[in-house]
């Protein structure tokens, strides 16, 4: 017999045409008037930007286009685990996303009376590729038109006995669809109905790994790839939600940045200022829960008891903790829109949210098991294969010291989580050499045996070097995918929680008598809504077929030791490793870093964290961001080296044989002292030579020193001095040299005396000759003018002009002459 059809009088909540996420609530009873608004509505899952519930009876304004609600959204499926005497209730909302009014709207339930046979069948129903369920369940009809942009809530109810579920404990397919007279199908949702019946279900152990991880947020230590991390640390941000939800009874206090100092004779729990520390707040301290009578709240069946939270193992990346710490220390830079010369830099103030988040993490992670990946989650197979083992070792050491410094405790060194949950034998051996004996792996690294007809347990023995036996904790990848679902759209959180319940129920029903453990590890960049993350922990605590255990308590079982194949390194993982081009650029940057480090006075390596971030497995397949990080770190190293430099001087004129040149060497680094060596050479050492000078010097942060260099010129002229700074091994710090032109213009006082005497002799010898020439020139000028001959110093001479020649008549003989015979000819030659 089909369940009776329940007819709903329409209850409409009118929305404007604005798009976005709608926060809706619903009353179980439907009002009689068609246009009346519900006094209260069942809340749908909001986006992080729309946390506040709407006021009953008012419209919800949608903040963004991207969050437009679906035509059909499910707000509640209760109970999650259906027993024989339960009433199944499905609540939700129909939204008119068209441009015209909708009429004759019907919402109905379809199901099968027999359970799904396996997890593959469950997957096919979820993605809509399976045959639709054929059994008719309850339906609801809306008799009034639904205007565009308006939404109406619905409720479907059926007694479990009336559904006539035949298969007992298992997972039954469930489909909810909505149709209208004009548009036909408006929307369809595929979900599940886990049913326990009257049977006592076997417990399936589950163990949670709760990730606080992300890709590297910085390039060099002061420059972030974007400004998003500060937002993620707020109470509504991704990392803020993960921290508070994982703490289970925690609530972020925006004023808390660390424990207050307490006198030695007082206990920490007797703080006079409860607001100063979350541990003094009832919401943050399991030992100070409020009185149940004075503070009515959820029953133990609805939420875990504060004294008995779901055990989780925190997984952290020390590089992310380091990024958060730097964010809260002082102002920092982020890369913004690109320009012709590369990304621009935008300055930000220190983040108070970062200080608050880190203080709460230090408090709430103090007692739970803690797993830490090496610093920046390096691509270990790629590094070990490229002979960068030293970097891999540094990432392990830096990761452990960072966790100890920032969280005030040490991570469990026996737990290891290789990148993407896969590793080759070299990576296994490396992690084992660094203390790991238990490895968190993806199931592709240790697949189930082909003959196994059920989900194997998550714990399996793993062979280690030297005949030792370790443990592989194999994560269920299908559940990882379910946990990573997008739950920030209306109704998505409820469906994801129901899928989680269905998956775990299906695993439990596969082999009820088998003792198994399922490892639950969400994606490392997990971004659940707050309601979804909380709902998962509630489901873990309350679903009758689940039993939560700590990861550190999971052990292998000899009876299931053969359920999985041996360690496998998937070809897909090998192909995705950091490629040769990326690692070659890393090597080039490392060489420049080594040169920079070689002149630091202290044994320092300030760029080591930045280099390790370049080697992160997060850059697999992300060439764009990887290139940005490589470019920025390379530039930062070059800029740091350039801060140790010779200050260029003006061209020098050397007016004597010897002189002294003052060379100014500067260290513009604000945090480091340097020891550098100055080398100078002349382009023409025969013309200009360099004497002895102080070649090695130590310069403090922001300091300068002057080196006095003796010069000696042997020949006048120009030459160039080349100056360079290098380390103790003679390697130049930078490729650029400083040049100073030198012009030698004098040979000294002795040379000046000699030159002066020579000039005096020359003047004395030439003066009489100049006087005689001047007299002859005057005589010729007078003769040409008709003034008659002028007396010659040797006696009178008759002079006549004939053509261009002067003909001299002397003693009856004619001679052609251009002056006095000997002297004038010599003057002409000269």
Residue range 9-19, pLDDT digits in tens: 343 333 333 33
How many CB atoms within 10 Å of residue 586? 23
- Which range of 32-36, 349-353, 821-825 scores highest in mean pLDDT? It is 349-353
How many CB atoms within 10 Å of residue 98? 15
Residue 276: what pLDDT? 41
CB-CB contact of 353 with 325 (8 Å): no
**Averaged pLDDT, 190-197:** 94
Residue 725: what pLDDT? 95
Residue 192: what pLDDT? 97
- CA 471 to CA 441: how far, in whole Å? 10
Please work out, in degrees rounded to the nearest 5, the angle formed at the alpha carbon of residue 772 by the alpha carbons of 767 and 778. Answer: 125
Residue 693: what pLDDT? 93
Least confident span in 497-506, 594-603, 712-721: 712-721
Residue 140 bridge partners (DSSP): 107
Q: Of all residues in the chain, what percent carry a pLDDT higher than 70?
A: 76
Residue 653 has pLDDT above 80, yes or no: yes
For residue 21 the two structure tokens come to: 């996420």
778-787 CB burial, b ≥16 within 10 A, e <16? ebeeebeeee
CB-CB contact of 440 with 371 (8 Å): yes
Going by pLDDT thresholds of 50, 70 and 90, the confidence category of residue 260 is low
Residue 758: what pLDDT? 57
The DSSP bridge pattern shows strands 312-316 and 370-372 to be: parallel
Q: Token match 């399922």: residue?
A: 518
- If one compares 177 and 294, the residue with the highest pLDDT of the two is 177
For residue 380 the two structure tokens come to: 């270990």
Going by pLDDT thresholds of 50, 70 and 90, the confidence category of residue 784 is low
Residue 802 has pLDDT above 50, yes or no: no
Going by pLDDT thresholds of 50, 70 and 90, the confidence category of residue 761 is low
Backbone torsions φ then ψ of 827, nearest 5 degrees: -65, -40
Contacts of 310 (CB under 8 A, 6+ apart): 208, 248, 304, 537, 540, 541, 548
Residue 31 bridge partners (DSSP): none
Q: Of all residues in the chain, what percent carry a pLDDT higher than 90?
A: 65
Please work out, in degrees rounded to the nearest 5, the angle formed at the alpha carbon of residue 124 by the alpha carbons of 118 and 130. Answer: 110
Residue 2 has pLDDT above 80, yes or no: no
CB-CB contact of 216 with 629 (8 Å): yes
Going by pLDDT thresholds of 50, 70 and 90, the confidence category of residue 737 is confident
Q: Token match 């593959």: residue?
A: 120
Least confident span in 39-43, 158-162, 266-270, 761-765: 39-43
- If one compares 321 and 284, the residue with the highest pLDDT of the two is 321
Residue 735: what pLDDT? 83
- CA 183 to CA 181: how far, in whole Å? 6
- CA 793 to CA 597: how far, in whole Å? 90
What's the DSSP call for residue 7? P
User: Mean pLDDT in the chain?
Assistant: 82
Contacts of 669 (CB under 8 A, 6+ apart): 640, 643, 644, 701, 702
Could you give the 3-state DSSP secondary structure of residue 759? Answer: helix
For residue 275 the two structure tokens come to: 């607001």
- CA 477 to CA 389: how far, in whole Å? 30
CB-CB contact of 373 with 215 (8 Å): no
**Averaged pLDDT, 194-213:** 91
Going by pLDDT thresholds of 50, 70 and 90, the confidence category of residue 714 is confident
Residue 825: what pLDDT? 39
Cis-peptide, bond into residue 513, ω within 30° of zero: no
CA nearest to 439, candidates 410, 476, 466, 471: 471
Query: Which strands, in side-by-side order, build the sheet including 135-142?
Result: 82-83, 184-197, 170-180, 105-111, 135-142
What's the DSSP call for residue 126? H
Task: Find the radius of gyration of the CA atoms of the chain.
Answer: 45
Going by pLDDT thresholds of 50, 70 and 90, the confidence category of residue 497 is very high
Could you give the 3-state DSSP secondary structure of residue 674? Answer: strand
Going by pLDDT thresholds of 50, 70 and 90, the confidence category of residue 685 is confident
Residue 746: what pLDDT? 65
CA nearest to 359, candidates 441, 257, 216, 495: 257
CB-CB contact of 693 with 669 (8 Å): no
How many CB atoms within 10 Å of residue 561? 12
Could you give the 3-state DSSP secondary structure of residue 808? Answer: strand
Residue 323: what pLDDT? 98
For residue 224 the two structure tokens come to: 């972030």
Residue 62 has pLDDT above 70, yes or no: no
Residue 67: what pLDDT? 61
**Averaged pLDDT, 167-182:** 93
Residue 213 has pLDDT above 70, yes or no: yes
- CA 136 to CA 115: how far, in whole Å? 16
How many CB atoms within 10 Å of residue 273? 8
For residue 307 the two structure tokens come to: 């004294």
Residue 783: what pLDDT? 62
Q: Token match 């939270």: residue?
A: 309
């Amino acid at each position: 017999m089909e369940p009776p059809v329940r007819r709903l009088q329409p209850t409409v909540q009118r929305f404007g045409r604005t798009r976005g996420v709608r926060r809706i609530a619903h009353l179980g009873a439907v009002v009689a008037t068609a246009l009346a608004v519900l006094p209260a509505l069942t809340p749908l899952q909001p986006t992080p930007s729309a946390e506040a519930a709407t006021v009953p009876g008012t419209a919800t304004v949608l903040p963004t286009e991207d969050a437009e609600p679906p035509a059909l959204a499910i707000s509640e499926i209760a109970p999650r685990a259906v027993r024989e005497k339960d009433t199944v209730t499905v609540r939700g909302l129909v939204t008119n996303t068209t441009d015209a009014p909708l009429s004759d709207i019907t919402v109905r339930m379809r199901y099968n009376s027999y359970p799904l046979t396996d997890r593959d069948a469950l997957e096919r129903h979820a993605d809509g590729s399976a045959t639709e369920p054929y059994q008719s369940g309850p339906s609801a009809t809306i008799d009034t038109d639904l205007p565009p942009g308006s939404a109406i809530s619905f409720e479907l109810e059926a007694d479990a006995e009336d559904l006539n579920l035949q298969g007992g404990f298992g997972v039954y397919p469930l489909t909810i669809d909505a149709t209208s007279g004009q548009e036909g199908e408006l929307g369809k949702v595929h979900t599940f109905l886990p049913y326990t019946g009257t049977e006592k279900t076997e417990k399936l152990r589950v163990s949670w790994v709760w990730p606080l991880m992300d890709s590297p947020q910085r390039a060099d230590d002061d420059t972030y790839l974007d400004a998003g991390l500060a937002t993620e640390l707020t109470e509504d941000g991704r990392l803020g939600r993960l921290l508070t939800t994982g703490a289970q009874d925690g609530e972020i206090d925006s004023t808390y940045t660390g424990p207050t100092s307490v006198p030695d004779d007082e206990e920490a729990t007797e703080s006079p200022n409860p607001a100063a520390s979350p541990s003094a707040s009832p919401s943050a301290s399991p030992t100070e829960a409020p009185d149940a009578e004075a503070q009515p709240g959820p029953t133990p069946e609805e939420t875990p008891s504060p004294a008995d939270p779901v055990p989780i193992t925190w997984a952290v990346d020390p590089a992310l903790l380091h990024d958060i710490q730097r964010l809260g220390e002082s102002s920092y830079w982020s890369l913004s829109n690109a320009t012709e010369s590369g990304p621009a830099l935008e300055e930000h103030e220190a983040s108070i949210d970062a200080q608050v988040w880190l203080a709460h993490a230090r408090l709430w992670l103090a007692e739970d098991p803690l797993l830490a990946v090496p610093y920046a989650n390096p691509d270990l197979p790629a590094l070990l294969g490229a002979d960068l083992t030293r970097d891999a070792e540094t990432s392990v050491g830096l990761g452990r010291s960072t966790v100890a410094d920032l969280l005030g405790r040490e991570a469990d060194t026996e737990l290891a989580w290789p990148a993407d949950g896969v590793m080759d034998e070299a990576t296994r051996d490396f992690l084992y050499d660094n203390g790991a004996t238990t490895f968190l792996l993806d199931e592709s690294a240790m697949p189930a045996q082909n003959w196994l007809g059920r989900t194997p347990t998550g714990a399996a023995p793993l062979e280690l070097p030297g005949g030792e036996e370790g443990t592989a904790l194999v994560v269920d990848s299908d559940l990882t995918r379910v946990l990573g679902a997008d739950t920030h759209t209306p109704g998505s959180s409820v469906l994801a929680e129901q899928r989680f319940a269905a998956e775990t129920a299906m695993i439990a029903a596969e082999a009820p008598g088998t003792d198994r453990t399922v490892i639950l590890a969400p994606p490392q960049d997990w971004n659940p809504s707050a309601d979804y993350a909380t709902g998962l922990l509630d489901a873990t605590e309350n679903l009758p077929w689940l039993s939560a255990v700590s990861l550190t308590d999971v052990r292998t079982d000899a009876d299931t030791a053969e359920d999985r194949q041996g360690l496998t390194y998937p070809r897909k993982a090998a192909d995705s490793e950091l490629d040769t081009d990326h690692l070659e650029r890393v090597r080039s940057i490392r060489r420049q870093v080594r040169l920079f480090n070689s002149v630091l006075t202290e044994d320092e390596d300030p760029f080591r964290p930045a280099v390790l971030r370049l080697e992160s497995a997060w850059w697999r397949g992300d060439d764009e961001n990887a290139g940005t990080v490589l470019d920025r770190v390379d530039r930062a190293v070059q800029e740091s080296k350039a801060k140790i430099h010779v200050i260029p001087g003006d061209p020098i004129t050397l007016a004597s044989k010897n002189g002294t040149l003052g060379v100014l060497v500067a260290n513009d680094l604000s945090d480091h002292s340097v020891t550098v060596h100055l080398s100078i050479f002349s382009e023409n050492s025969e013309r200009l030579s360099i004497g002895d000078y102080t070649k090695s010097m130590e310069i403090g942060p922001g300091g300068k020193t002057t080196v006095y260099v003796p010069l000696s010129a042997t020949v006048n002229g120009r030459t160039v001095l080349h100056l360079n700074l290098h380390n103790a091994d003679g390697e130049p710090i930078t490729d650029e040299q400083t040049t100073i032109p030198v012009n030698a213009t004098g040979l000294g006082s002795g040379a000046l005396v000699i030159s002066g005497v020579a000039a005096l002799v020359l003047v004395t010898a030439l003066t009489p000759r100049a006087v005689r020439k001047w007299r002859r020139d005057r005589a010729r000028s007078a003769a040409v003018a008709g003034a008659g001959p002028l007396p010659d110093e040797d006696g009178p001479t008759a002079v006549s002009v004939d053509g261009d020649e002067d003909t001299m008549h002397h003693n009856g003989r004619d001679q052609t002459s251009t002056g006095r015979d000997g002297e004038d000819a010599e003057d002409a030659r000269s």
